[in-house]
Amino acid sequence: MADSHYEPPTQSAIGQFFDSLFLLALVLIALFAPLYLGLAGGGKTELAVADKTTWIGLGQNAVQQGQWEKLGFTPETAASMITSRFDYSFSVIELVITALVVVGYFVLLFRFSKTEYADVISERFGKK
């Protein structure tokens, strides 16, 4: 009993175009949803400085002061940029959960496509 030649499912050009647009929309939603929901960009801390009205109070030396002034900043206008810092802390539990979700996705991906992979491999290399 000979196995039939494996034929992958065919899809029309319109179906491929729709799938491409759908995947593009999903990617854009995944990228911008955290911004619109306020889940990203909130990790800033303010540094305490002696005086926000002078360069010395902001901890800037003469060279730094000159560069700020070349860009058109005064101590008052540059203070918010100099004193704000991003908070790069993260939760180990959330990192582990994210890793589990990614690994789980690939496990499901390979489980659901196992029969197609087995068909292609047996067609190319023969059965064991």
CB 83 within 8 A of CB 50: no
- End-to-end, the C-alpha distance of the chain in Å comes to 15
**Cα(116)–Cα(109) distance, integer angstroms:** 12
How many angstroms separate the Cα of 76 from the Cα of each of 32, 44, 54, 55? Answer: 33, 19, 8, 9
Q: What is the pLDDT of residues 53-95, one digit of tens each?
A: 899 999 999 999 999 999 999 999 999 899 888 878 888 999 9
Read off the tokens for 96. 């582990």
Q: What is the pLDDT of residues 22-59, one digit of tens each?
A: 999 999 999 999 888 877 766 778 888 888 889 999 99
CB 58 within 8 A of CB 52: yes
Tell me the whole-structure pTM to 2 decimals.
Answer: 0.46
Domain ranges of the chain: 12-41, 44-89, 90-128
How many angstroms separate the Cα of 63 from the Cα of each of 41, 47, 66, 75, 92? Answer: 30, 21, 5, 14, 40
